[in-house]
Structure 1
């Protein structure tokens, strides 16, 4: 049996705070179909879903062609905002980089990401923060069904050869925790993201600070502190 362990991170609302960019791009998406945008809390409630699923939930009366226009308008607006503002469009949460560094220094621990972002969006986030060396498996919306389908986690485990019992999914939304449950792995919620903690009912634990993560992982993996 492999001694390897895998920690998979969601991105938006977990590693980076991209809510300003997301909300702005959502407003552009609704403008593209001449509809008023819902309030901020509603827009953030769908973070984690793939864009086509998000638009279907937010604008259920539209046909697929309308949802497709919204998706393209969102992508264009998000990209423009990112180009204009760089790292400021998606700052890392406090403690995120330090924890990534700490975990990467442990030989048997591998890190990955599972995100509703596109490949282009994820690559841009990784590049702007200089995170290229941290993630050995990167699962994006381009290649998988939307969360909470377990495909992203199952593929990450297949990529790395890590068992379910040694895999942990870290995320801020109910979709992340439901995805973890569907894949049969431990889900760790975080309270600093876009879904309130009371919605993370499938989580093993909900963390309030990034620096709590290493100790919680040791507990889950039954390692000495």
Structure 2
């Protein structure tokens, strides 16, 4: 039974993977690096920005990767107009989990500024008990952000579950000795998530919420 549900953000709660891929590709063109494919760009979603650039451009200089980060931020905030919105069922699903007494948290590869901006767009800034971002702690798949969330909530790891759309989320959960629930509608495939020890892989927000509510939630702090 889980008292604490920790969600990834991009590709799990917000439909933003196409926008992220577009901005990575645009930044590569700006800097003069080989443009990754959409699939390659989506595959690294979930890591911190600097880690993303190291994976995509291992031969590039530190200066070039820093320029990539700057240009990515410019395109994401200013230039790229790709729509991003919460997946269907997110608001209702989170409310149902809260009504059962679960605590909700976010562990994301976004920066704090980026997550706060996304919360403003989505109207979810008061929904979560605690959030951790890639620029505040060690990034996925290192388990530190999960450890910090557990410490903040005083919930035992056996009573928590990580929900995410990438192997980085599942690997982070495994590294924290925490259960992981995968969702296949984001960046990584069902097969990849299962290879990363996901307990189950759900194919929509609604089925993910139903899986959690099916006798797996108990009230925190009773």
* TM-score, normalised relative to structure 1: 0.90
1:117 equivalenced with 2:115 (yes/no): no
Residues 94-138 of structure 1: per-residue CA shift (max 9 Å, x gap): 11111011112223x100001100111111111111112211111
Residues 143-165 of structure 1: per-residue CA shift (max 9 Å, x gap): 12221000111111111111111
Q: Distance in 1 between matches of 2:214 and 2:138?
A: 31
Residues 8-34 of structure 1: per-residue CA shift (max 9 Å, x gap): 100111001112321221123212321
Q: Is the 8 A contact 1:4 1:110 kept in 2?
A: no
Q: Distance in 2 between matches of 1:156 and 1:45?
A: 25
Q: Is the 8 A contact 1:191 1:197 kept in 2?
A: yes
Q: Distance in 2 between matches of 1:220 and 1:40?
A: 38
1:204 equivalenced with 2:199 (yes/no): yes
Q: Distance in 2 between matches of 1:214 and 1:74?
A: 32
1:76 equivalenced with 2:78 (yes/no): no
- Partner in structure 2 of residue 165 of structure 1: 158
* Structure 1 residues 81 and 16: CA distance shift in structure 2, 3 A: farther
Q: Is the 8 A contact 2:163 2:181 kept in 1?
A: yes
Indicate the larger mover: 153-162 or 211-220: 211-220
1:37 equivalenced with 2:35 (yes/no): yes
Q: Is the 8 A contact 1:166 1:221 kept in 2?
A: no
Q: Distance in 2 between matches of 1:18 and 1:61?
A: 27
| Contiguous gaps of at least 5 residues in structure 1 | none
Q: Distance in 2 between matches of 1:183 and 1:6?
A: 14
Query: How many residue pairs were aligned?
Result: 216
